[in-house]
Amino acid sequence: MSRGKFITFEGGEGVGKTTNVAFVESYLQARNIPLVVTREPGGTPLAEKLRTLLLNKKSEAISEEAELLLMFAARAQHIKHVIEPALARGDWVICDRFTDATYAYQGGGRNMKISTIEGLETLVQSNLRPDLTLLLDAPVKIGMERVGKRGAFDRFESETALFFEDVRRAYLLQAEINPQRIKLIKANQPLADVQQAIINVLSPLLR
Ligand code: T5A
C-alpha cells in the first residue's frame, strides 16, 4: 500500500479555502481516491476544543506565545491521531490550513520569530510536510468583504487590515521559498476559473 498524498489549502480570510476543499473532495471522490478531509486548528476532539478557544473573541487575552503553542499543540494531536494514520493507510488528506498558516499569522501577523516557528515545526512534525499546498491569494479587501457577508467576526477576523496585509505578504514569501510545494492560485476570479486552476495543479499528482 503506497502512502497517501497530503494536500493543504492556505490563504487569508475569505479567499475560498473551505469552498475549494469541498470542490477537491468531490473531484477526488469521483476518481475513487480514498480521502480524509480535515482542518486546522482542529481535526480531533481536543484540537477542536483548542480551536474554539483560539477563535473565541471572548477568551481571556491570549499572549502571542500561548497562541503559537496552542496552534502547535492542536497540530500535534491532529498529526498523531488523524493525518499520519490516514497517510499510512494510503488515504489522501485534504487539510484546510496547516503550518504555512502559522508562518503567515503568527510569523507575519504577530511578528513571532521564524526560527521559533521552525523549531516547533521540527518538534511536532519531524519530516512531515504537505506534498502540495494550494495558496489562494486575493487582495485583503476582497476576502474581508466575503467574510463580512457571513456575520460576526471571530478573534482573528477582528484584526486590522494591516495585520492581514502582513499575513498575505508572509504567505507570498512562503510560496517564494517553497516553489515546488506551494502553488499560487489567483482567488479573485470567478469560482469556475479558480477551480480550473486547482485542477491544473492537482492533476500531476493523479498520474
Ligand atoms: N490560524 C490557523 C492561525 O493563526 N495559525 C495557524 O497555524 C492556523 C492553522 C482559522 C483561523 O485560525 C488562524 C487563521 C484563521 O483566522 P478558518 O475558519 O480556518 O479560521 O479561516 P478563515 O479564513 O476564517 O476561513 P473562512 O471560512 O472565513 O474563509 P475561506 O474558507 O477561505 O472562504 P470560504 O470558502 O468560506 O468563502 C468565503 C465566501 O466567499 C465565497 C464563498 O461562497 C463564501 O461565501 N467565495 C467566492 N465568491 C466569489 N468568487 C470566488 N472565487 C469565491 N470563492 C469563495
Q: What is the pLDDT of residue 1?
A: 76
Residue with the smallest CA separation from ligand 1 atom 1 is: 101
Pocket probe mutation, ligand 1, options 8, 18, 54, 191, max atoms within 8 Å of Cβ:
18
Distance (Å) from CA 190 to ligand 1 centroid:
16
Identify the helix (H) or strand (E) that includes residue 50: helix 45-55
Q: Among residues 93, 94, 104, which one has the least CA distance to residue 71?
A: 104
Q: What is the pLDDT of residue 90?
A: 97
Instruction: Please state, in angstroms and rounded to a whole number, the distance separating the CA atoms of residues 173 and 46.
Output: 31
Which pLDDT tens digit goes with each residue over 38-85? 999 999 999 999 999 999 998 889 999 999 999 999 999 999 999 999
| pLDDT for residue 207 is more than 90 | no
Q: Report residue 130 as a C-alpha cell.
A: 504537505
Mean pLDDT of 96-116: 98
Global confidence as pTM: 0.97
Q: What is the pLDDT of residue 200?
A: 97
Identify the helix (H) or strand (E) that includes residue 55: helix 45-55
- Count CB atoms within 10 A of the CB of residue 73: 17
Superfamily of domain 6-206: P-loop containing nucleotide triphosphate hydrolases (3.40.50.300)
Going by pLDDT thresholds of 50, 70 and 90, the confidence category of residue 152 is: confident
Say which amino acid occupies 109. Answer: G
Q: What is the pLDDT of residue 108?
A: 98
Q: What is the pLDDT of residue 31?
A: 95
Which pLDDT tens digit goes with each residue over 155-191? 999 999 999 999 999 999 999 999 999 999 999 999 9
Residues in the ligand 1 pocket, defined by CB under 6 Å: 11, 13-19, 40-41, 71, 96-97, 101-102, 105-106, 146-147, 156-157, 187, 191, 194
- Percent of the chain whose predicted confidence (pLDDT) is above 70: 100
- When the pLDDT of each residue in the chain is averaged and rounded to a whole number, the result is 96
Question: Among the atoms of ligand 1, which is closest to the Cα of residue 188?
Answer: 52
Distance (Å) from CA 146 to ligand 1 centroid:
9
Instruction: Please state, in angstroms and rounded to a whole number, the distance separating the CA atoms of residues 43 and 206.
Output: 25
Q: What is the pLDDT of residue 110?
A: 98
Phi, psi for 3 (deg, rounded to 5) = -65, 145
Q: What is the pLDDT of residue 99?
A: 98
Q: Hey, CA dihedral for 9, 13, 18, 20, is it positive or negative?
A: negative
